[in-house]
Homo-oligomer: A and B are copies of this chain.
Amino acid sequence: MGEQEDPRVTRSRGRILESARTVFLREGYLGTTLDQVAVESGVAKRTIYNLYADKDDLFRATILSAIEIADRFAASIAADVVEVDSVEDLPSIAERLAEATLLGPALPLRRLLVMESRRFPDLVSEYRRRAPEAVMSALSELFRRAGRAGSLDIRDPRLAAEHFAFLIMGADLDRGMFTGQHPPRTAVTALARDGAEAFLRAYRVSD
C-alpha cells in the first residue's frame, strides 16, 4: 500500500507547512493571506490549492504538524520526569521543563491556539490532550511515587503536579502569552529554581 508520493509534492508540502506555521503564528487565521504564505514559501498560490482544499484545511494541517513537534518535546520531557528518583533532582528537572516549554515551540503554538480557540476548538483539545497532558501525567506519576516512598508529603498527586508546574513557570507563561516572545533564558531558569524550592518547602515531609 506504499503509494510513493512524488518528491515534488513532498518538497512543496514541506515548504508550505513551514511558511504557513510562521505566518499563521504571527498573523492569526484571519490575518493570514494565502498569498503571503505563497510568497514566504516560494511556491505558487495555485500549488497550495493543489495540495490543500482551502485555507481551513491548510490551517488544520499546519497546526497538526506543530502539535506533532510539541508532542515530541513533551514526550521527551515526560521521559526525563519519569526517570527522576530523588527529590534532589526536582530543581534541575524544573529547569529543563521550563526551558523546553518557554523557550521551545510550545509557547507560540499556545498563543495561536488561544487566538483561534473559538474557530478550531477541536485543535485545542487535540493539543491539550497530547502535549501538556503528557507532561502533567508524568509529573503526577512522579509525585505519586515520591509520596509512596515517603520522600514527599503528597495527598493529591495531580494537584501537586499542577502546583509544581505553575510555581516553576506560571508567571513566565502568562507574560509570554501577552508579549508573544520568549522570555530571557536567565529569567526562566531563575523562576524555575525558585519555584522548585518553594514546591519542596510546601511538599516536604514534615519531620
Contacts and interface: CB of A to CB of B under 8 A. Distances in A.
A139 interface: no
Interface in A58-113: 111, 113
How extensive is the interface on chain A, given as a class? 35 or more
A133 B141 CA distance: 35
A203 interface: yes
Contacts of A167: 163, 166-167
Contacts of A156: 194
Copy number of this protein in the oligomer? 2
Interface string A153-182: 000100100110111001101100111100
B163 A198 contact: yes
A11 interface: no
A177 B30 contact: no
B178 A170 contact: no
A179 to B, nearest CB: 7
Contacts of A124: 178-179
Interface string A111-124: 10111011000001
Given A165-B170, A166-B171, A173-B174, 6 more contacts: A28-B28, A114-B115, A114-B177, A163-B195, A201-B202, A202-B202
